[in-house]
Chain A
Amino acid sequence: MSHHVRVNPITCEAHGICAELLPERITLDEWGYPIVDEATLHGEELDHARRAARACPTLALLLQRERSKSRV
């Protein structure tokens, strides 16, 4: 099953821990909020993503199974 990371921008408070634990997919913008590459995670990246999601103080980083990325 393929996974990707996504951030809940409402709960995110720009702690920035995700960018340290998952630099493969996350960089920070000039205000400290994550810029997330939502492409499918492979191999080791998935472990890093799990660790980053667990480490987020506001639980704003989500590991999601592939589904339509719908936004309104």
Chain B
Amino acid sequence: MVVVNAVEAEPPSTKDRTLLQLAPHLVLDGAILAAEALRADEVVVATGEHAGGSSAAAYAAIEERAAVGGHGRVALTLAAVKGGYVAGQESALISGLEGREALPTFTPPLPFERGLHRRPTLVNNAETLAHLALIARHGARWFRTLGTEAHPGSALVTLSGPVVYPGVYEIEAGSSLSSLIDAAGGTTRGVRGALTGGYAGSWVPASAITELVLSRDGLPAAGGSFGAGIVLLLSDDACPVAETVRLSRWLAGQSARQCGPCVHGLPAIADALAALASGEHRDGSERRLRTLFGLASGRGACAHPDGAVRVIASALRAFTEDFEDHRLNGPCERCSRAGELPLPPRPEPSREARGARRAGP
């Protein structure tokens, strides 16, 4: 089985659904190549809660292929998976596709060992499969004419925040964030920092933004993360401490509520952060946070608590002075403003977690 992961449950990311909507055949080409290479006979395109036009585009593309005879033994299926932030995690995605709640499972077995309907399953996101199709079409040498040794080719980045034209950009891997911001028409306000990689990624302070290189090796070298190709700029109207408190509460709420260290650890982290931000526990709250980071990280069935700890710990590093100011003096004037990070409410879990449509041969 080959699963095209276009669930994209990261609120600040829209690149996979954008790609699937604008170039569905390219994504399908990649998925079919992968299926043929693995001798798989089914490709499932999985979209998520906020699929927008991507689902209809994928459906139309599958129909178009069926109309001209399909792909031999490879059947193409489209499926919608319901669920919150963790629904895009690959074991959760498989649970969702099997009609259960889209929650992570205990691994191993990993999906490539035993996945969808207990068959070995390759799960890749839409962008990866589109790259595969382009490499098959034009060759590896062509692909490597862009990018760096460690991160060849191009990459899709979802840029949001105070820029003139936020949206999805295809960049050359290794290009600078400054050039991306220029391509987006420049900034409309001052910038306090950048969230890189997404809600399991890392904050980079404003002072480091101009130097940032967008690649899988360049971002980590500067304390950032490439992750799902997300760059969210925080404006200087926002309070990074208040944003982090809200994000930590949201991440706690997105837990699948299956594993004790995540169920208890993430709300405890959110509580400790809120206490720190309000100037309540002047001493000890940072030490308490460090203890909780250790207790939550690495102990869940999936990496959700690890990602939550990573992004929160990175905020403490990137905005050290702001956190110190709040710890000593309590909330700042910006704390009460509306948040800038998109934190959508968690969809209601449903037992009937699948609405699948079939097409193809």
Contacts and interface: CB of A to CB of B under 8 A. Distances in A.
A72 B302 contact: yes
Interface stretch (B13-21, B49-57, B259-267, B274-282): B259-267
A67 B113 CA distance: 14
Contacts of B178: none
10 contacts: A9-B106, A9-B260, A10-B105, A10-B301, A14-B260, A33-B261, A35-B295, A70-B110, A72-B91, A72-B110
Contacts of A13: 260
A17 interface: no
Contacts of B262: 9
A35 B89 contact: no
B256 to A, nearest CB: 9
B179 interface: no
Nearest to B292: A30
Contact of B89 (A9, A32, A33, A72): A72
Interface of B: 89-91, 105-108, 110, 258-262, 264-265, 295, 299-303
Contacts of B258: 9-10
Contacts, number: 50
Question: B-side binding surface: helix, strand, loop or mixed?
Answer: loop
Interface string A17-60: 00000000000011111010000000000000000000000000
A25 B235 CA distance: 47
B95 to A, nearest CB: 12
A33 B90 CA distance: 25
Given A9-B258, A29-B295, A31-B264, 16 more contacts: A8-B106, A9-B106, A9-B259, A9-B301, A10-B259, A11-B106, A12-B259, A14-B260, A30-B295, A33-B260, A33-B261, A33-B299, A35-B295, A70-B110, A71-B107, A72-B91
Nearest to A69: B108
A72 B295 contact: no
A46 to B, nearest CB: 21
Contacts of B105: 10
Interface residues of A, number: 17
Contacts of A70: 107-108, 110
Contacts of B91: 72
Contacts of A67: 108
A9 B301 CA distance: 6
A64 to B, nearest CB: 9
B346 to A, nearest CB: 19
Contacts of A9: 106, 258-262, 299-301
Contacts of B261: 9, 29, 31, 33
A72 B90 contact: yes
A10 B295 contact: no
B106 A10 contact: yes
A35 to B, nearest CB: 7
Contacts of A12: 259-260
Nearest to A12: B260
Contacts of A11: 106
A29 B260 CA distance: 10
Contacts of A10: 105-106, 258-259, 301
In this complex, which of A8, A35, A72 has the most chain B Cβ atoms within 10 angstroms of its Cβ? A72
Contact of A31 (B90, B106, B260): B260
Contact of A71 (B260, B264, B265, B303): B303
In this complex, which of B260, B299, B300, B303 has the most chain A Cβ atoms within 10 angstroms of its Cβ? B260
Contacts of B106: 8-11
Nearest to A64: B108
A24 B260 CA distance: 22
A72 B107 contact: yes
Contacts of B260: 9, 12-14, 31-33
